[in-house]
A and B are shown apart, each in its own frame.
Chain A
Amino acid sequence: MNAITPPPMVPPTVPVPTQPTVDSRFTVPGIHCAGCIGKIERGLALVPGVASARVNLSAKRVAVSHAATLDGDALIEEIRKLGFEAERAADNPLARDDAETKRLIRALAVAGFGMMNVMLFSVSIWSGTDAVTRGMFHWISALIGIPVVAYSGRPFFASAWMALKYRRTNMDVPISIGVILATAMSLYETLTGGEHAYFDGAVMLLFFLLAGRTLDAMMRGRARSGIAALLGRMGRGAQVLGEDSTARYVEAEKVRPGMVMLVAAGEALAADGEIVEGRTTVDASMLTGESDPRPAVPGDLIHAGMINLGDPVRVRVTAAAQDTALADIARLMDEAGQSRSRYVRVADRAARLYAPAVHTLAFLSFCGWMLAGAGVYKALTIATAVLIITCPCALGLAVPAAQVVAAGALMRRGLLIKDGSALERLAEADEVLLDKTGTLTLGEPRPITLAMLGPRSRAIALGLAQASRHPLSRGLARALREEGVEPAAIEGISEQAGSGMTGRCDGAEVALLRSMVDSAALSADLLIDGTRTRIAFADPLRPDVRETIAALHWQALPVAIASGDRVEAVGAVARQLGLFATAAMRPADKLALLERRAAVGHKVLMVGDGLNDGPALAGAHVSIAPGGASDVSQQAADAVFVGERLMPVATAVRVARATMRVVRQNFATAVIYNVLAVPLAIMGYVTPLVAALAMSGSSLLVVGNSLRLARAAGKD
């Protein structure tokens, strides 16, 4: 690789002089085992210019450190040669969430450390110590407890402060008041050599509550990284032709009108433009919901978000970034998304009732004991005990514990839920609105039938199809693999853009070519020794659509179709499935339909994939997008399901409802516990020992109850 030949005595292990390297990150959804890690890391290490490659299996990403001369496309091509599809990873959009989770984990670790050590001294005190030792132990507890409360309590104090500043109240207000009051009281006890200090109670409270918060944050993080791995297949950039007709990669935001883009088969357009060279077929289903691809010839205007199904074309950009048809949809989405932020989560709704009740109760017990003539000190001690006992320890765990278990179970069944609020809203849904193209259907061309192909033809077809990235080839390869076909060995395979694949198999000339018939309907020709077989393609329904609709009906959820496709195409599917359907809807129409349903009190679950569904997904009470959906739709939706089956949608609703049942049980447990413990606290019988037992007992009960969900979610 170097121009200078190294002297012969230099051992071959000496590395090439180090050049400045740059780091690139790629998403590789196909990584799933140790074999893949080894293959990619070793394979890339052999590529000249690559310094090192490191696979992250959890995030399905590859970080490559390489010479600046090597560009992203070359690396993607190298990864493709190793047998994996790769995409450029976006600049870590999740970094902020990650930092939040890490802060919580650190606070949890500190609280855990404090809890265990303070408890060590508390147990000795409860076992009975003389006044001098007790005083010393209280001092040590204070030395550990106060810094721990100050560090680990920050997430709660900050959130409570924000709420109070806007004259609202949330769960963090009673928590903060309880913890601060308990710490202050205990400090006073320590200074005056008193008998009861609540440092253990305050720190334990923080530990349990932080456990709940951390679980919640980790659930969000896991789902988001899962979704991030699916993103990035759609027109994030384009190959732009320079003056000297060399192509270079340009990010979508940097594409300018007047540039000429080279759009390969299977690629999405990054900007609106006019075809200047080449004839092709474009799929507008993501943009408009139309399922039939339409032919496009020089002079035709095609839009960002459309996918080129046919031959490579050159497109002169007429509008880019903020001016494309896509940007209008984005604006609609922004407006639609605002309505959802008004949703109040279950825990906060409970806090609205709970916080005033708890504060009144503590205040009343203080007044009561003052009236009874107990003195300020005694009355304040009892009021603090009431606050600690009623602190929503179980409540703080009740919701996240149940939701994390449910989200984990759903993730194993192929549905990624973005956060707990999505589960809550999913449980409330009472109507389902489905998009047609890409949601009820697969959204990819598949051969209508393989019946005309014999076993040998099938093997050859798979051998040819699997070597190409063309959408038709991919659809054909997938369908054949599902039939259990083994690919035939094809020699001298070559792909000619715009024409097809050619090669030799057992001495026979074989080819998979674009159809001779020039029609809008998709088809390909398989050529074996001069015999031509036509394979027609269509976008089929997902395999379990009927079962899913039946399951949704069984859960008392009426289903309807809202599609942007033509009336005839939608009508055919609607009749086949026996559903009510509305056709030819523009993005704004879908949003208006949702608003009409919401106005009469319905909570609609929207399922859709296209860019045209984006506003509806953002505006619906709750929404789900398939894994093949456009980036914006996946980002707008509350959940994403992967795979070809639609059933995860029905499963999600069922599990969400089961989760809310468990959450309500957990709330009931917390209420019963309070009904039993609060009178004791008001009477003044609660010592730090009783508080510690009550708190850990109720928390364990709640977590145990939530774990039952894992089993409930497991059965169909």
Chain B
Amino acid sequence: MTILGFMIPLSLGMGLVALAAFFWSMRSGQYEDMDGAANRILIDEDSAR
């Protein structure tokens, strides 16, 4: 059962990392323009330069 002492903190830690990543992505405005992000990949960079 000692494995639990390792696994439980690990699983909680991974969960927390995911939560922190979500908070960070929200704060840095990655959900501000969902349609724009989907469309931007279609912009042809070559024609610009």
Contacts and interface: CB of A to CB of B under 8 A. Distances in A.
Interface string B6-46: 00100110011011001100100000111110011111100
Contacts of A140: 8
B18 A59 contact: no
A34 B41 CA distance: 8
A45 to B, nearest CB: 9
A102 interface: yes
A556 interface: no
B3 interface: no
A57 B26 contact: no
Contact of B43 (A37, A106, A113): A37
A117 B11 contact: yes
A33 B32 CA distance: 17
A16 B23 CA distance: 37
- For this complex, into which size category does the number of interface residues on chain A fall? 20 to 34
A116 interface: yes
Contact of A56 (B23, B36, B43): B36
Interface in A535-581: none
Interface string A361-391: 0000000000000000000000000000000
Interface string A113-141: 10011001000000000000100000010
B18 A113 contact: yes
A339 interface: no
Interface in A29-86: 33-35, 37-38, 42, 55-59
Contact of B26 (A106, A113, A133): A106
Contacts of A89: none
Contact of A34 (B11, B12, B22, B39): B39
Contact of A102 (B8, B26, B39): B26
Contact of B19 (A34, A38, A58, A113): A113
A109 B34 contact: no
A59 B32 CA distance: 9
A27 to B, nearest CB: 14
A162 interface: no
Nearest to A124: B4
Contacts of A38: 43-44, 48
A34 B40 CA distance: 6
Contacts of B34: 58
Interface residues of B, number: 23
Contacts of A116: 15
Contacts of B39: 33-34, 37, 57
A287 B23 CA distance: 47
A105 interface: yes
B43 A117 contact: no
A34 B43 contact: yes
Pick the most buried of B8, B12, B36: most chain A CB atoms within 10 A of its CB.
B36
A124 to B, nearest CB: 10
Nearest to A31: B36
A33 B40 CA distance: 9
A105 B43 contact: no
A276 interface: no
B36 A55 contact: yes
A113 B16 contact: yes
A105 B44 CA distance: 34
Contacts of B44: 38
A241 interface: no
B37 to A, nearest CB: 8
A144 interface: yes
B8 A113 contact: no
A113 B32 contact: no
A113 B36 contact: no
A35 B47 CA distance: 11
A707 interface: no
Given A38-B43, A102-B26, A117 B12 contact: yes
Contact of B36 (A58, A105, A106, A109): A58
A106 B23 contact: yes
B36 A57 contact: yes
Contacts of A42: 48
A209 B34 CA distance: 25
A110 B19 contact: yes
Nearest to A116: B15
Nearest to B29: A56
Contacts of A37: 36, 39-40, 43
Contact of B33 (A33, A59, A110, A120): A59
30 contacts: A33-B42, A34-B39, A34-B40, A34-B43, A35-B43, A37-B36, A37-B39, A37-B40, A37-B43, A38-B43, A38-B44, A42-B48, A55-B36, A57-B39, A58-B32, A58-B33, A58-B34, A58-B35, A58-B36, A59-B32, A59-B33, A105-B26, A109-B19, A113-B16, A113-B18, A116-B15, A117-B11, A117-B12, A120-B11, A133-B1
CB-based closest 7 A-B pairs: A57-B36, A34-B42, A34-B39, A38-B43, A56-B33, A57-B35, A58-B35
Given A37-B36, A38-B48, A59-B33, 13 more contacts: A34-B41, A38-B44, A42-B48, A56-B32, A57-B33, A57-B39, A105-B26, A109-B23, A110-B19, A113-B18, A117-B11, A117-B12, A140-B8
